[in-house]
A and B are shown apart, each in its own frame.
Chain A
Amino acid sequence: MALEEFKSSKPLTMGVELELQLISLSDFDLTASSPDLLHLLSRKPFPGNVTPEITESMIEINSDVHTNHTELVAQLQVIRDTLVQAGEQLNIGICGGGTHPFQKWSDRRIFSKPRFKEVSELYGYLAKQFTIFGQHVHIGCASGDDALFLLHSLSRYVPHFIALSSSSPYVQGNDTLFNSARLNSVFAFPMSGRAPFTQSWHTFEHEYFAKMEHTGVIKSMKDFYWDIRPKPEFGTIELRVCDTPLTVERAAALAVYLQSLCAYLLERREAAPEEDDYLVYNYNRFQACRFGLDGTVVHPKTYESLSLREDILTTLRKMEPYGAQLGATAGLQHLMQVTHEGSDAHYLRQQFDASGSVEGVVDAAIHRFRGR
């Protein structure tokens, strides 16, 4: 099966996908309840889209395509309220967060769908360990070439998104000392990490993808778990490094930050991306995962060491005019606040200190998601 043609879409439109945790309110562990919840939700029209995920303790929601922050956040809030209401009717707590703090991966059940069963067959326990929860943001691109240009230009900003969204400090009942431990689970997959360096869609399609397909290792774009990947059928690039934040408001803010950055990068005022930018990519990514906003990253062009928090603040300020044009100002201000107050990972650690238990952390995450 050849790669699909890259469908042109309106530049800088955006859509958000959120993977969410389904929690048993009896014991705060994950619960295999997606079939029950999806059944209840199917009784009424849903304000967006909701689908099962690989294990029955997860669901994925996605917004429609939006152009500005106000519409996006409003729809995400309606989706959240609908989910919370249905969850309460079934005694299921719903929350964000990149990992569940104490679930045992071996307890998870693969959702009965051919693709999920295939993935489980191929990857073994990695599939169940993939019970991690991320936010994906799609940005519309006019062409495949634009998509690949944006994909590589954005690599320098990937640590920003990891640090700002980080919400997975606990795994299997322990503090990992990472702010985003979720990405370590993604890294276990052979087709994860960065995309190959090519800026031409034609080359990507006829050389890279065709060769990979010929090896038999991959069948479609779905088999790549890259940090940023092109999505030809939607005409978008998809950023996949974010943990699911604890609130939909933060999810919307992250989306408009990416939108503003893309608007800025498309003006092509920065030096063009090159293969050598990736020399420091994994190190910077690690710093963001491990230390969050307190990390130190290396600039890929100048090799200068930068405080991640300072770098984010400088970039957010630079984005202000683009944000104003796109109606994203409120979202950018929200993230400015995050750099001062700390990320969701910081909040979850505070909750552990206050409640003394990982169950208390889950309870706090459920309350925060409700937004009431």
Chain B
Amino acid sequence: MTDQGETGEAITILLVEDDAPTCWRLQDALVKAGYEVRTAGTLGEARSALAVRAPRVLLTDLRLPDGHGVELIRETRRRFPDTEIMVISALGDEESVISAITVGATGYLLKDAFPTDIATTVRDLVAGHSPISASIARFIVRRTQSSSEPPPGPALNTAKLTPREIDILWGIAKGFSYAEIASHLGLSRQTVPGHIKNIYRKLEVHTRSEAVFEAVQQGLIKL
């Protein structure tokens, strides 16, 4: 089974993970699913791999021997806006996932996920579906409610989320499936993943749309 991009070429993945067994495990699962996988164990290796060619998908751990995965995500997002970025997390905790989202990641992968789940997640991401867990959704909606006192945990700007997006997050936090959420909110089932992708984009500290907006403001672009 192979997974092809729109151009017919194999989808390229850059996997950045310093723990060798974990790296093998993820690589096996992805290669078996037909992806073209390059691996890097450090930030430096990852940078040189990026210098050669931009991958379609970047999967990165956060704690790396020579730096933090957040830097890599930020750089990749800036240089290759079309690359889908996912963070590899041991526990899927808010600390690591949210900090990755705010610099441009649009999903996360659990290190112990079953091989089929790993492949499915990446495929969905490439198809435009960003995975989101109940606990991450819960964390985000709680931030939309918090008042003056900043709650503990990583900072998150939720001001741009629409009420509909917040409703979707509530549904995910409470364990409803996309189909259930769509029927509760009177949406088409296919639009829910798009909303989630939007949520990720809005939570990014410097989104591309913001950059465009700034460019328009400064007279660099004429619309």
- Specify whether A and B are partners: no
Contact surface of A with B, Cβ cutoff 8 Å? none
Contact surface of B with A, Cβ cutoff 8 Å? none
